Chain A
Amino acid sequence: MSFDLAKALKELQEQEKTMEKLYSELLKENNDEEVVKGLRSIRREGRKHLKLVQELINHDEKMKSPEVFSKVEPAEEIVLNQGATNLLVTKPANWFPGVLSVLKALEGKQIAYVALNKSADTLKSKIKEAGISLDGVKFVGTSKKNFMGKSEEASKNLPTICKAVSDAKKPIVIFDHVASLANYNPLESLACFIKSMTEAAAQEGFVVIFVTTEKPAQKLLIELMKSLIHNTIKTKKAPIV
């Protein structure tokens, strides 16, 4: 069954409303100075939460407009020669439109998509909503949650990823996104992993596309990737942010 975001947000809003009511009732029933001070502070925070959830509900409504993601334009300058290595670095808010623009540019091609960040089911439905065909795209090694599962141990198992890519036997491989691996692996291990993937691409003749997001904590990782990966993909500014 697919996940209903609108329903989940409404449920969250109901919970926050219940909490706000509870604090207000407690405030009416208590006059101890310390208790009142504490409850007011908690209720103040709760009211902020209600505003945030309302913002999310409004945002979700806006995003339901079918044309929002379909306006994403195909990415430019992806090198598809055998053994080519490509890098897409996006701002966190532009990550999904960035991925969509890459997939749009590669529509119809045979791709192994290593989902390191989100579950394959979530990605598939969102990509289809954007009107992009997934014919030829294989989400490799996906588990119930995502490729890695949720455990730290699984995320540390970089050789498993290499094997899954090799087993997929597709001419294009997308790693989305590498920054997720940085949560569990030291930079040195990631450097070895990226290097071995680029070498495997050269030897086996597949094209590799690494996607990652730009965060201050990952500055070194991005510098490292730029030094190992030959081509940088360009995307046009997403119509929504």
Chain B
Amino acid sequence: MTLAGARMDKQKLLERLNEALVKIEVDIKLIVGSILDNTTDQKIVKTLKKLQDGNANQTKELQKLTKYVLGEVDKNEF
């Protein structure tokens, strides 16, 4: 793969990682928040809180990954 091609792939990967981040931080967060605001069922509350913790971990991992890919872009070694 040419360097130009590799750069494009990295760019695409970064875009998709960003897409995932936005989905977790906006779309999923909004749905979970609205359910939590409207339910009285403690099982649902407990499970969604677990899911929120999981989302926070995913966000961290995605940010780590994004940083790594950005680093590799700079090194042109990806």
B-binding residues in A (CB < 8 A): 3, 5, 8-9, 11-12, 15-16, 18-19, 22-23, 25-26, 29-30, 32, 34-35, 38-39, 41-42, 45-46, 48-49, 52-53, 55-56, 59-60, 63, 92-96, 118-119, 122-123, 126, 145
Contacts and interface: CB of A to CB of B under 8 A. Distances in A.
A118 B40 contact: yes
Contact of B35 (A5, A35, A123): A5
B40 A8 contact: no
Interface in B2-48: 9, 13, 16-17, 19-20, 23-24, 27-28, 31-32, 34-35, 37-44, 46-48
12 contacts: A15-B27, A19-B28, A26-B13, A26-B17, A34-B68, A35-B65, A38-B62, A38-B64, A42-B58, A56-B43, A93-B43, A118-B40
Interface of B: 9, 13, 16-17, 19-20, 23-24, 27-28, 31-32, 34-35, 37-44, 46-48, 50-51, 54-55, 57-58, 61-62, 64-65, 68-69, 72, 78
B42 A96 contact: yes
Contacts of A63: 41
Contact of B20 (A23, A30, A34): A23
B27 to A, nearest CB: 5
Secondary structure of the B side of the interface?
helix
B28 A12 contact: yes
Contacts of A9: 35
Contacts of A5: 35, 38-39, 44
Residue of B57, B62, B65 with highest tally of chain A CB at under 10 A: B65
Given A5-B35, A8-B35, A48-B54, A38 B65 contact: yes
Residue of A8, A42, A59 with highest tally of chain B CB at under 10 A: A42
Residue of B13, B16, B40, B43 with highest tally of chain A CB at under 10 A: B40
Contact of A12 (B32, B38, B42, B69): B32
Nearest to A41: B61
A65 B20 CA distance: 36
B17 to A, nearest CB: 8
